[in-house]
Amino acid sequence: MMGEPNVELAGAKRVDEVRALWLELHRHERTVAPSLAFTDDEQSWRLRRELYLRSLERGRAFLALAGNANGVVGYAFVLLEEGSDDTFLLGERFGELYSLSVAPDSRRQGIGTMLLDFVDAELASRGIRGLRVAVMVGNAGARRLYERRGLQAAETILYRFAASDGG
């Protein structure tokens, strides 16, 4: 990955390359929604990594890496859902953009857009048009990015968090 940023499809063997980017996103989410209860960084990465590996190994996801001369500077992880959504017209198969993260020093350079273009093209190559994306409450910048691409708010998910002692 030299020169201009590029995006490529990656397999399970490269999941650990996104650890720092996931943790950056996890920390960012805590800043945009400070009143919510979050897992600690290490538990968050352990659980996220397990989900990524399990989904990739089962062929139920894909990982897109954006890189330049500095290495991996962004990624998108997409889950592939089989079967129609029970509420919305997403098609018989649809994607869920489960994670998208760009390194702080690489933001505002079009990398997020490149990743989303890649996601759209990869889904289209698989005959998939529908896409679901969740945006953390308070992350107005991400919401604007997705809305510019034609996505629209359809649900609000509410949580009851477990007691702070882990119970």
Q: Could you report the per-residue pLDDT of 101-127, keeping only the tens digit for each? A: 999 999 888 999 999 999 999 999 999
The tokens for 56 are 């990739």
- Domains of the chain (ranges, CATH numbers): 6-148 (3.40.630.30)
- Residue range 64-97, pLDDT digits in tens: 999 998 899 999 999 999 988 888 888 899 999 9
User: 109 to each of 68, 93, 100, 114, 131, how far by Cα in Å?
Assistant: 12, 31, 15, 9, 24
The tokens for 101 are 């993260």
User: Does the reported pTM lie above 0.85?
Assistant: yes
